[in-house]
Amino acid sequence: MTDKLIHALVEMQETEALQQAKQLLDSGTDPMDILDACSKAMEKVGQRFEKGEYFLPHLMMAGEMLKQISDIIKPLIKEEKSTTEKRRVLIGTVKGDIHDIGKNIVTFLLEVNGFEVRDIGIDQPPEKFVESIQEFQPQVVGMSGLLSLAFDSMKETVEAIEKAGLREKVKIMIGGGQVTEQVKDYTGADALGPNAIAGVNLAKQWIGGK
């Protein structure tokens, strides 16, 4: 059962969370189930942040716990390597937003599914996305943002990509706690990834993969 792991992560019990993750692995739990539990826990952490119950230090601590657990799990997950062309995804948190927990989960899942991922980090302006697309040449661009102020940044980034003549070369997905279909339409993105698994499935749908 992963309930204890979820509880430890949500309650910021770092030592307990790491112990639970190791115990689950030792008992034969599928590493992907553990990662799924981490994802659920991070959703709850995000909800507490939105309600004003948690603050930035809590988000940073949750991200650190996730990284430690990911470091344990990642070597155990068999990578699905692409035998054809490189499947590249560029991902980043848009200007004005510094949240990266969701982005980090998506990046991790994409990598273990055989995608080559370039994470440009947080609070990135439109020109950084454009520059990175020109340099990295991804087929998919993922934009993350937890705050509502990120919506305008996403729209501006999509417009900048279009202005640079790159829009037809990439599929764009957006995600974040408050992102909806209406926001997707507003920004001009191709799709909304309501969670990390959905984001990976979109990438597979667009550029192949098991």
Burial of 48 (0-12, 13-18, 19+ CB in 10 A): middle
pLDDT attached to residue 120:
97
> Between residues 105 and 4, which one has the greater pLDDT?
4
Distance CA 194, CA 45 (A): 16
At 79, the pLDDT band (50, 70, 90 cuts) reads low
For the stretch 8-22, pLDDT in tens is 999 999 999 999 999
Question: What confidence category does residue 81 fall into, taking pLDDT thresholds of 50, 70 and 90?
Answer: very low
Domains and CATH numbers, the chain: 3-76 (1.10.1240.10), 88-207 (3.40.50.280)
Q: What is the mean pLDDT of residues 110-131?
A: 92
| pLDDT surpasses 80 at 38 | yes
